[in-house]
A and B are shown apart, each in its own frame.
With several copies, the nearest count.
Chain A
Amino acid sequence: MSALNRSQMAWRAAQDLPDGSVVNLGLGMPVWVSNYLPVDRDIFFQSENGILGVGPQADEDSQDRNIVDAGSRRVTLREGASVVDSVNSFAMIRGGHINVTILGAFEVASNGDLANWDARVPSKGPLVGGAMDLAVGAKATWILMQFNTKDGAPRLLKTCTLPLTAPHCVKRIYTDIAVVDVTPDGFVAREILATVGTDELRSRTGTAIAIAPDCQALNAPEISL
């Protein structure tokens, strides 16, 4: 199969979320993850604006301007949901109560450093939001991103070139061509797309990447974008 599209990438990450876990999904592609949960997983999605138990997006006729996620999308509340203020929402995030956060990224270094908040666009103001809190506070930080930039440059690097979000925080990276763990020994590929050989994977990585002994083929069902 060819490189995973964005929906398939979200699907792949969704398969690994533990049953019963509490998960925060970053803006953009990560929020799509909630669309592709296996049916046997009962998961609470937390949003930085204070909702624990974000449900599907609201229908046109059941929207409430005060039931939104951190990306300003009008959503619903699942059964068992609750709502707190920003202080308590971030206490939840920073106190280690979120099992997994799935975030987008610009770059990840082989020591787990993450750069995902500031791409250095000239004259545009900074936007950090809750990225640093999530990366530091969640028990596990997973990244969902294209393996390479649009220009083909590597995003998996020895050292991040863009401003850091947090040092040593990334545990796993889901991409369009591979699933990569960040280990004390650096990057380890767990799954690689069948049409991408290990040589190609290495050539598209900015630093050393090991191949797990039990490395599998990266697969996802057909999902249109």
Chain B
Amino acid sequence: MAIDKRVATAAEALAGVKDGAVVMVSGFAGAGFPNALLEALRDSGPTGLTLVANSATHPLSLTHTLIEAGMVTKVIASAARGRGQELSSFEQQWRDGKIELECVPQGNFSERIRAGGAGIPAFYTPVGYGTELGEDKEIREFKGRPCVLEDAITGDLALIRGDVGDRFGNIKFRYAQMNFGVAMATACTTTVAEVREAVDGAIPPVEVQLPSVYVNHVVAVGGEV
């Protein structure tokens, strides 16, 4: 049968997300947030989620709406500080012990997710050694440099945003929109990509940045270029 991974709505693409799922959310520095998918996930209402997102509190990402809705019990992130004087919803729940936080250096974060998608169960890195974030990790020296052992991160569902998607599931991003999207798609059982535009034809082979094999559903949601 001809492959067509396009679905009409974010809600359709996200039907059946289970309580307790590990959900990865792309986006960094204002680019690549899958906000239409995050809205649909919030509306569908699974609970006990683990969120893997670079920031738990970026004001331009709707990640915080899942947290405010009480759907999240664990966050793995490199940034979890609200910008205002008042505590963010994340900070309040974290302080109250309702959300567990694993704070990870951003490069270990991206590398661990990549490892999850690439079949690497664990790797050594000097980043984090000698810091609070490296505490309780196994330490080993390579060429005189102490390193910590970091394990892969995998997930059940990746929510990413691209610019253009095709019916095969190929995705093209716009500039820095790419950030964590590629790695997260490789590391999750199911990947849903929201895109500005879903095309009938195929994205030319040399322009594909995320190959079709990593994408299960493509949802066109419009939005600015």
Contact = CB atoms under 8 A, between A and B. Distances in A.
A68 B151 CA distance: 30
B181 interface: yes
A52 interface: yes
Interface in A80-97: 80-87, 89-97
B119 A91 contact: yes
B60 to A, nearest CB: 7
A92 to B, nearest CB: 6
A49 B78 contact: no
B183 A124 contact: no
A36 to B, nearest CB: 18
A126 B126 contact: no
A166 B131 contact: yes
Interface string B170-196: 100111111111110010000000000
Chain B: number of interface residues, binned into ranges:
35 or more
Interface residues of A, number: 61
Given A20-B3, A124-B81, A164 B132 contact: yes
Most buried by A among B105, B116, B126, B206: B105
Interface in B198-225: 201-203, 205-206, 208-209, 211-214, 224-225
B105 A132 contact: yes
Which are the 6 A-B pairs with shortest beta-carbon distances?
A133-B107, A80-B168, A125-B80, A90-B107, A94-B119, A91-B118
19 contacts: A19-B1, A48-B28, A48-B106, A66-B163, A77-B205, A82-B203, A82-B211, A83-B208, A85-B182, A89-B110, A91-B114, A92-B211, A92-B213, A94-B125, A124-B87, A126-B81, A132-B127, A136-B126, A164-B130
Interface of B: 1-3, 28-32, 54, 56-57, 60, 78-82, 87-88, 90-91, 94-95, 101, 103-108, 110-111, 113-114, 116-120, 125-133, 163, 166-168, 170, 173-183, 186, 201-203, 205-206, 208-209, 211-214, 224-225
Interface of A: 19-20, 22, 40, 42, 44, 46-53, 64-72, 77, 79-87, 89-97, 118, 123-133, 136-137, 163-167
